[in-house]
Amino acid sequence: MKMNLSFFALVFLLFFIHSSSAAKCQTSDRSALLQFKNTFVSDPSCSGSPPMVASWGETDDCCSWDGVECSNQTGNVIGLNLAGGCLYGSIDSNNSLFRLVHLQTLILADNNFNLSPIPSGIGQLSDLRQLDLGNSRFFGPIPSAISRLSKLENLRFSRVNISSAVPDFLANMSSLMSLSLGDCELNGNFPQKIFHLPNLQLLIIPYNPNLSGTFPEFNFNSSLQRIWVEQSSFHGEIPSSIENLKSLTSLKLGNCSFSGTVPDSLGNITGLQELELHLNNFSGRIPSSLERLTEMNRVFLSYNEFSDATLSWVGKQKKLVFLGLSGIRLGGTLMPSLGNLTNIEQLLLGENELTGEIPSWIGNFAMLTDLHLYGNKLTGSIPKSLSQLTNLKHLYLQYNYLNGTVELSMFLKLENLTELHLTANDLAVIDDQVGSQNVTLPKFNLLGLGSCNLTHIPTFLENQNELEVLELGQNNIQGQIPKWMWSMSRESLKVLNLSHNALTGVEEPRDALPWVNLYVLDLSNNKLRESLPILPAICKLSSLVALDLSSNLMSGVLPHCIGNFSSLDIMNFRQNLLHGTVPDSFRIGSKLRFLDFSQNQLEGQVPRSLANCKILEIIDLSDNQFTDGFPYWIGTLPMLRLLILRSNHFHGKIEEPETNTEFPMLRIVDFSYNNFSGNLPLRYITNSKGMETFNTTASTYRNTFVTFSFDYVWALEFFYSTTITIKGNQRDYSRIQEVFTSIDLSSNKFEGEISNVVENLQGLQSLNLSHNMLTGPIPPSMKNMARLESLDLSHNQLSGQIPQQLSQLNFLAIFNVSYNNLSGPIPLGNQFNNVDNSSYIGNVGLCGDPLSKKCGDLKPPSSDSDEGEDEGSFHIGWKTVLIGYGCGMLVGMIGGNFILARKQDWFAKTFKIQMLKSWEDSR
């Protein structure tokens, strides 16, 4: 009997389970779902795939429909997961969805709700535990109705354009375990109290550059496991109480504004696996306590202001997969303890001060995919053990002191190698076996062999069809560009640098260059003579961002297409033999910022269509044969900072400006060696805010950034340089500080007096008005030009005394008033005590030190000092030149658009690289 009862009990139990699991959905829920289905059509971006809800209604039981979950006991719909369901349409607060009052899970991520507001009707779903609207094209703030969801545990709005502050009510949602608001265009201050939510484990709020905030003191009982705030405006210090986050496994604070020291207490969070502090303002030492964090697999500390940084703490991190320590002033050698990192995949130590040789034991890192040692002080040869790294993809060794011969065959085994950069060492690279038909090199995306003592373009490149960047600058490559290059990487090539070689032309001229997606073409500093094959051939390169053909021997005329490029940022034809006129073809909407036609034989007028280039910053037309009046219309360019018209045939008066809005940003002006006449055009220049006093401690240099994207975000940095000629001696300045200002109006026919408006140029550092026909006195008001370092008024007809007030110019280092009609005593004190007598010759009436004529002494000064004096011996000439990328233009490569916008100081050297960042928060 006992056995029979047990049998019947088992049968009853099975029947009960079957009955429960077979519960049908409620009629009201089925109706609501069908109405919800009719809200949508197929998303056009889903390539014709029907929306997930399209099959709803084919059966009566809604619990069997795609994405629908029901309660086994009641049949109520408790879950709706339509992630990536190709839904397209809008949801308002009256939608039938909100009649599903038993919903506990609502996932609508990765759909297209057509920028409709986040519906407040969600607040009616009082049982909701999980709400996921990520990447769903909702728009607008989080509605306050969400605050009614007291049971909510997971809230995810990532990649929804919220465009508002984080609502304070989130700090009262005590059930929250996960909050994900990444890439939501958040602004304002992040509510600190959210950090103290008792159950919060995941706080994911990265990629909100306008979101500010600071860390609180952390509670001992915190449940936080992940804190991700990278690429935001969080700032302040990391409190030492962070050690209270005993459950923390991931801390990502990269590309923010944190400062102070990294607390030693961080080493007490022994379960920490990911630590990202890169691109902040941390200072002091890297705490040695980090060696206790033996569970870490990812450490990213690059680009901070650490002092005395070494690798001494790294050796115990045996689980590390990613180690990023670039740009932190890391010193010392590559320590043997690094050899313990047997799991390392990405080792990024670029742009530091590491010395010594690359150790051969790096060849033991079997999993290594990325090795960045660029921009250090490493010496010795490249170890052959690198050929053992069969998983290696990216090898960056550029800008070191490596030497010896490199046989490209050592890389033959590295089938995965796609990026190899050896530029700017003392290497001799030879393609020993690579020309053999039986040898196949890896398919490169990037190949940097600049300054590698090459005498010809490596022939193995003929079979490379995936190149994006080819850097062969600053070698000794001679002869013509071979015809086989026209078949190389036609679709993929983005950057081609053959600058600073001895190329003379092209072996097989073409009507168009074959690289249809080329962004950067740098053929500068060669011996290219034939303009016909090259100049017209650039016209079909519609994607060009930077074009540099400077310092060649190209003759002929400029092609009409030069004004047609829609994306061109930098155009440089400096120092060639080009003649004819500049085509008047520059279009409205041009992106041109840097234009250099200097040192050619161009003539005619300045093309009026340049007025269409509204973001031009640099115009250099010097050393040509332009015959034109003053191009006053250039004054309408709102971003123009540097205008060089030196050594042409410009003529006529420069009339007073009609308004006070011309040249609003001008900082460097050179109109010297022309035939301008009339009064000095000082009112044009004093309009400029660029001539105002700037922070004198600024150390940034005048440059132009060009950006474009393919696999990475690239930045090309062009520095402007200066040559100063004083009494026949030239001094070159390879970079001009951003605060520098200069005016050179010398060697023209300007007349009249120097207006008192000159005193408004309070930020000016150099003023040259020499070799004109100026009359009248030197204005005493020049004393207000407090930053003036160089003043040349020589070879004019100025009269009266040198104002004693000029002795107040404490920075004045160069002063020349020779060959005028000045009289009276020379000012005494300060910088005038260092001016020699050659600066005063040709002024019979001057007296006092350093002249031999004493004041009150009528005896004329000795003429000995005049002998051999060249009237043109003193001249300050400013001209811009372009430093090319790699060996020509400086190229920086990084990941992430935010970094580019917020960290422009990153690009001071070549190839500052951060791996592409991707993130996906927990759902």
- Helix (H), strand (E) at residue 879: none
- What is the DSSP code string of 188-231? EEPPGGGGG-TT--EEE--SEEEEEE---PPPTT----EEE--S
Give the CB-side neighbour count of residue 496, counting CA atoms within 13 A: 24
Burial of 721 (0-12, 13-18, 19+ CB in 10 A): middle
Please list the alpha-helical segments (H only) found in 434-529: none
| pLDDT surpasses 90 at 803 | yes
Cross-strand bridge partners of residue 790: 766, 814
Q: Which of these ranges, 434-438, 638-642, 778-782, 822-826, has the smallest mean pLDDT? A: 434-438
Q: Which of these ranges, 495-504, 706-715, 807-816, has the smallest mean pLDDT? A: 706-715
Give the CB-side neighbour count of residue 436, counting CA atoms within 13 A: 9
Taking only the tens place, the pLDDT of each residue in 686-715 is 877 778 765 544 445 555 555 555 555 556
Best mean pLDDT range from 43-52, 261-270, 436-445, 911-920:
261-270
Amino acid in the structure at residue 586: F
Residue of 850, 824, 826 lying closest to 837 (CA atoms): 850
Give the CB-side neighbour count of residue 796, counting CA atoms within 13 A: 30
| pLDDT surpasses 80 at 72 | yes
Residue of 30, 32, 39, 28 lying closest to 62 (CA atoms): 30
Place of tokens 């742009």: 351
Q: What is the rounded distance in angstroms from the CA atom of residue 746 to the CA atom of residue 676?
A: 10
Structural contact between residues 368 and 387, judged by C-beta atoms closer than 8 angstroms: no
Structural contact between residues 794 and 816, judged by C-beta atoms closer than 8 angstroms: yes
3-state DSSP assignment of residue 678: strand
% of the chain with per-residue pLDDT over 90: 68
Structural contact between residues 826 and 849, judged by C-beta atoms closer than 8 angstroms: yes
Q: What is the rounded distance in angstroms from the CA atom of residue 450 to the CA atom of residue 887?
A: 6
- Would strands 773-776 and 749-752 be described as parallel, antiparallel, or unpaired? parallel
Taking only the tens place, the pLDDT of each residue in 855-904 is 875 444 443 333 333 333 222 222 222 222 222 332 333 222 222 222 33
pLDDT-derived band at 44 (thresholds 50, 70, 90) equals: confident
Average pLDDT for 399-410: 92
CA distances (Å), origin 589, targets 560, 569, 595: 17, 12, 15
Structural contact between residues 620 and 641, judged by C-beta atoms closer than 8 angstroms: no
What pLDDT does residue 725 have? Answer: 46
| pLDDT surpasses 70 at 437 | no
Q: Which of these ranges, 7-16, 30-39, 67-76, has the smallest mean pLDDT? A: 7-16
Place of tokens 């996921």: 132
Residue of 137, 159, 133, 136 lying closest to 146 (CA atoms): 133
Q: What is the largest CA-CA distance in the chain?
A: 147
pLDDT-derived band at 286 (thresholds 50, 70, 90) equals: very high
What pLDDT does residue 685 have? Answer: 83
CA-based torsion, 73, 74, 78, 80: positive or negative: positive
643-823+874-923, what's its fold? 3.80.10
Domain map (residue ranges) of the chain? 25-152, 457-616, 643-823+874-923
End-to-end CA distance of the chain: give it in Å, rounded: 53
Mean pLDDT of the chain: 85
Average pLDDT for 81-103: 94
Cross-strand bridge partners of residue 131: 106, 155
CATH 3.80.10.10 fits 457-616, yes or no: yes
Q: Which residues, in sequence order, are CB contacts of 669 under 8 Å at separation 6+?
A: 643, 685, 742, 743, 744, 745
Q: What is the rounded distance in angstroms from the CA atom of residue 597 to the CA atom of residue 749?
A: 25
DSSP state of 456: S
Average pLDDT for 262-290: 96
Structural contact between residues 541 and 564, judged by C-beta atoms closer than 8 angstroms: no
Structural contact between residues 778 and 785, judged by C-beta atoms closer than 8 angstroms: no
Taking only the tens place, the pLDDT of each residue in 739-790 is 678 899 999 999 999 999 998 888 898 899 999 999 999 999 999 999 999 9
pLDDT-derived band at 923 (thresholds 50, 70, 90) equals: low
pTM over 0.85: no
What pLDDT does residue 698 have? Answer: 46
Residue 892 CB coordination number (10 Å): 23
**Domain 25-152: homologous superfamily in CATH:** Ribonuclease Inhibitor (3.80.10.10)
% of the chain with per-residue pLDDT over 70: 84
Q: What is the rounded distance in angstroms from the CA atom of residue 521 to the CA atom of residue 466?
A: 17
Phi, psi angle pair for 337, to nearest 5°:
-65, -20
Q: What is the rounded distance in angstroms from the CA atom of residue 143 to the CA atom of residue 222?
A: 27
For 472-502, give one letter per residue: b (16+ CB within 10 A) or e. bbbbebeeebbeebbebbeebbbbbbbbbbe
pLDDT-derived band at 463 (thresholds 50, 70, 90) equals: confident
Q: What is the rounded distance in angstroms from the CA atom of residue 779 to the CA atom of residue 793?
A: 12
